[in-house]
Amino acid sequence: MDIGKLKQRNRKSKEIILKALIYHGAGERAWEEKSKPVVKDATDAIVKVTKTTICGTDLHIMKGDVPEVPDGLTLGHEGVGVIAEAGSAVSGFKAGDRVLISCITSCGKCDACRKGMYSHCEKGGWILGHLIDGTQAEYVRIPHADTSLYHIPDGADEEALVMLSDILPTAFECGVLNGQVKPGDRVAIVGAGPIGLATLLTAQFYSPAEIIMIDTDANRLEAAKTLGATKLVNGNAVDEIMKLTDGKGVDVAVEAVGTPATFDICQSIVAPGGHIANVGVHGKSVNLHLEKLWASNITITTRLVDTVTTPMLLKTVQSGKLKPQKLITHRFALNQIMKAYDTFENAAKERALKVILSN
């Protein structure tokens, strides 16, 4: 009797199949069968995904812009769900607990984590749907569960919380906190896509006097208006903003697109003493006009979200100060995710901001 083979057979026989949105190289995705994930390390948890969403970053991956994503990977780094199984070293969560999944995995132990810079965790960071299977599936394995998941308070709106996996902490940490938005400030947000609008929502935590949204899509600007923008600029951005600010420029310019042209707007409109907070994902270098800016007392920041503010954001959602569900425009069943991708890929035409997939 070959015990090794027997064990293998047993394991295989126990293997459960689920459905997942799988990447097959640039432009190729499929809703396919895959083995249900199992606890590999004692600090893992297996989460049954109840709601997930699609991120602009997923579209970048689909375009082939993120070459380290391997063929066969399940995409997705956002979602809420229920703990199906917790590894033996997981102390804060047990089967049945409802959880918010952070897009950033944090071991809680390395130098970066101890400094609150979870994005640069030596064993984590952004790995879900990037280097390991992600959340656009019926189940997902979450490493370092104790420090990468959050309990969902009773009575919470789970759709709202899906927005807290990535887009809200990204906008808040990279845009608002790094931009140091203060009461009375003039803030300009370049880009009124989901991430720009999330910046708009969270900038209001600090009561700036003005929030100017810049975009070339009239629908998105209209959405910005309803979400709290005080001024809208569509085209001819630098001139318009200098006019709106009596030639003084803005205290905080948030780059929420990720192109040289939009970064350039930011460096043209920032006032002396001001901040440029980069949120956009850039594929090219930009031309920084130090010959003008060296004497301007400005601060430029970059950041991959650390999700260190997730507990704070949870409190603001629970208290009703933040209503991220306003960003949701479309809803699908999880098994309709191929169609959801189609919609999200045509966001302008479909007037889509964030889509929710429910399981």
Interaction site with a copy of itself (CB under 8 A): 42-43, 88-89, 91-92, 108-109, 111-117, 119-120, 146-147, 182-184, 204-207, 209-210, 230, 258, 263, 272-273, 278, 280-291, 293-304, 306, 308, 311-316, 318-319, 321-322
Q: How far is the CB of 224 from a copy of itself (least distance, A)?
A: 17
Closest to a copy of itself by CB, 72 vs 283, is 283
**Contact between 227 and 199 (Cβ < 8 Å):** no
Length of the chain: 359
Q: How far is the CB of 233 from a copy of itself (least distance, A)?
A: 18
Q: How far is the CB of 337 from a copy of itself (least distance, A)?
A: 26
Please give the DSSP secondary-structure letter assigned to residue 231. E
Q: How far is the CB of 15 from a copy of itself (least distance, A)?
A: 26
Closest to a copy of itself by CB, 72 vs 153, is 153
**Contact between 74 and 21 (Cβ < 8 Å):** yes
**Contact between 329 and 354 (Cβ < 8 Å):** yes
* Distances, alpha carbon 301 to alpha carbons 115, 148, 195, 253, 295, in Å: 17, 25, 16, 11, 17
Spatial CA neighbour of 103 closest among 341, 338, 254, 310: 310
Phi-psi region of 96 (alpha: psi -120 to 50; beta: other; left: phi over 0): left
Closest to a copy of itself by CB, 152 vs 355, is 152
Q: How far is the CB of 146 from a copy of itself (least distance, A)?
A: 5
Closest to a copy of itself by CB, 18 vs 304, is 304
- Residue 145 corresponds to which tokens in the numbers above? 């569960």
Q: How far is the CB of 290 from a copy of itself (least distance, A)?
A: 4
Maximal CA-CA distance, the chain: 86
Q: How far is the CB of 232 from a copy of itself (least distance, A)?
A: 16
Give CA–CA dist 139/208, Å, rounded: 41
- Residue 286 corresponds to which tokens in the numbers above? 């930009």
Closest to a copy of itself by CB, 20 vs 169, is 169
Closest to a copy of itself by CB, 17 vs 288, is 288
Closest to a copy of itself by CB, 24 vs 63, is 63
Let me know the angle formed at the C-alpha of 54 by 17 and 225, rounded to the nearest 5 degrees. 155
Give CA–CA dist 351/279, Å, rounded: 22
